[in-house]
Structure 1
Amino acid sequence: MSGVMLRIIRRMSYVASALTLLSQPTTAHADTVNLPPHEKTFESEMGSFTVGTHDEVIYRIAPLNGAPTSREAFVSTVAYGRLDGQAEGVLRTGYSVGCAARIDVVLPGIDPTTEFGLEGPQQNSATEQVQRQATEQAQSDTVEQSSSGESVQSHTQESGQLQESESRQFQEFNGIIPSIAVDPGLFLELELQPGDITNVDIGDGKALIPGKTVRIVTRDFHIKVDNCAGPATIRQYTYVQTRTPEVDDSGAVFGDPTTL
């Protein structure tokens, strides 16, 4: 039974470890994170171009499903780009979303197993000793008996009965003993995969106008992350992509990483 208890403790420890992993603290209430602006200007053969963001706000909220493996937030920002040159281009913005580990399968359940066995019969030293003494006594009586054939037969039968009786008496204490072991088999199977980094585009991009500042204004864009074990992190990106018949060029700025 000690082996069964060890199996139970081992499986329960696996469950406890898995539950600890899943029970990462989630946001109990909404909170707001204000992030600083970012801007870069790039010199190019077609002229300079500028890309930047400002007024980025992340409004973290508790997930609707209440699961510790889900995250939700509303994001607001202003992304802009300016093209100073004779070229065409596009402004794109969005968020990169990263998760420490992805949960593909969660299978809690019970897988009980029952083990049956038989112990014995066992021959112990006491039984062997009685059998050996009875045999020696029978041989001694045969040697010391008189010439009468009836006396030899009588001693031999009595010794044999004694041997059988003593052997049966000890065998009763060493017979077949059934055994049973029950393992409740509690388990929690987790299939964890390395975390992914996914880009979430906001809109399809906006065409740039040479000499003008073009903006993409975002208010309360919904971001959610599911099946994530551990922290989830988001980071804004904004790109300016330009093109002329001779060259393609691009530049980008990135916001500060923020944990959901």
Structure 2
Amino acid sequence: MVSRWWCAGVCAVVGVLVSGPVVAAEPAKADSFADRAVSKTTADGWRVSAVKARERVRSVPPLNQSPWSREGFLSLRGEGRIAGTSTLPVNAGTVATGFQLGCNTDVTSGATVGVTGGPTAQMSISYPPAMVIGGQLMPSISTTLRPGTIADVPFGTKQMAGALAGIELDGVHVKVDGCLGPVAVRAYTRVAISTAANDTTVHVYGEPHYL
């Protein structure tokens, strides 16, 4: 049963987690890519932490040289940690990480100002060949960026088989076509756990950056 591995996993690593607690990034730091963590004690007594680490957003001139295209490379590690003690075992846990992207104005209708055409700015995310996340192959992702909305681009979701789990991707290619102005990107990590009595979800976000 899941509760059996959970007891074994937590008992083995709680000492390490307590001796080296998760520390959120200091607000005064100038590095907007600094690692960040958010921790919460659940109603059952577990200490759940969501960590955003090793984030990088590198904007490059688009290969098609179009003024309506944005291109870049994204790197990120998302990590989930669980510590503490409780009379209720954790039945399931997941960690998910990725980026949120937003385009201010769609220009695929040909206009550059005050566009009223259909929201069809296109975004594509390309993962490295044969990249496997949690036993599943992650395909390329494409979606429509509607002006005034934000698209969630997941890097992956991993089931937690113990008190610590993470997802890390480096140099993921992103391209947005048909967008006027910069494309905003914001990293996130989400950690969720479930017991017989409660479900708890914790989020951490990075600073906005631009392609």
Same fold (TM over 0.5): yes
Query: One-letter code of the match for 1:200?
Result: V
Work out the CA distance in 2 between the residues paired with 1:258 and 1:189: 24
How far apart are the structure 1 equivalents of 2:192 and 2:41? 13
Counterpart for residue 244 of structure 1: 195
CA distance in 2, matches of 1:99, 1:190: 13
Aligned-pair identity (%): 28
Q: Distance in 2 between matches of 1:245 and 1:104?
A: 50
Question: Counterpart of 1:199 in structure 2: which amino acid?
Answer: D
Higher helix share: 1
Distance apart, 1:189 and its partner CA: 10
- Look at both structures and tell me which one has the larger radius of gyration over its CA atoms: 1
Corresponding residue of 1:72 = 71
Distance across 2 between alignment mates of 1:34 and 1:75: 15
The 2-side partners of 1:228 and 1:196 are apart by 13
- Give the drift of 1:60: 1.3
**1:207 is aligned with what amino acid?**
Q
Instruction: Name the counterpart of 2:48.
Output: 49
CA distance in 1: counterparts of 2:110 and 2:161, whole angstroms: 51
Evaluate the alpha carbon distance shift between residue 189 and residue 214 of structure 1 in structure 2; reply closer, same or farther with a 3 A threshold: closer
TM-score normalised by the chain length of structure 1: 0.52
Amino acid across the alignment from 1:197: I
Q: For each residue in 1:16-49, what CA deviation from the matched residue of structure 2 results, as whole angstroms up to 9, or x when unmatched?
A: xxxxxxxxxxxxxxxxx97111101111023111
Contact 1:75 1:223 in 2 (8 A): yes
Q: For 1:63 and 1:252, locate their aligned partners in 2 and report how far apart those are by CA, in whole Å.
A: 32
Alpha carbons 1:34, 1:55 under 8 Å: kept: no
The AA in structure 2 aligned to 1:94 is G
Equivalent position to 2:160, from 184, 197, 208 = 208
Structure 2 residue matching 1:221: 3-state secondary structure:
strand
Q: Which has the higher strand share?
A: 2
- Structure scoring higher RCO (CA < 8 A, sep ≥ 6) equals 1
- Unaligned stretches of 5+ residues in structure 2: 1-30, 120-146
Amino acid at match of 1:198: A
Relative to structure 1, the CA distance from residue 234 to residue 54 in structure 2 (aligned partners, 3 Å threshold; closer, same or farther) is same
Q: Secondary structure at the match of 2:107?
A: strand
Q: Does 1:227 align with 2:175?
A: no
Mapped contact 2:32–2:207 kept (Cα < 8 A): no
The alignment covers a number of residue pairs equal to 147
Q: Say if 2:106 and 2:115, in contact at 8 Å, map to a contact too.
A: no
- Matching of residues 2-17 of structure 1 within 5 Å: none
User: Within 1, Cα distance between the matches of 2:82 and 2:114?
Assistant: 54
- Are 1:61 and 1:73, in contact at CA under 8 Å, matched by a contact in 2? yes
Structure 1 unaligned residues grouped into runs of 5+: 1-32, 108-187
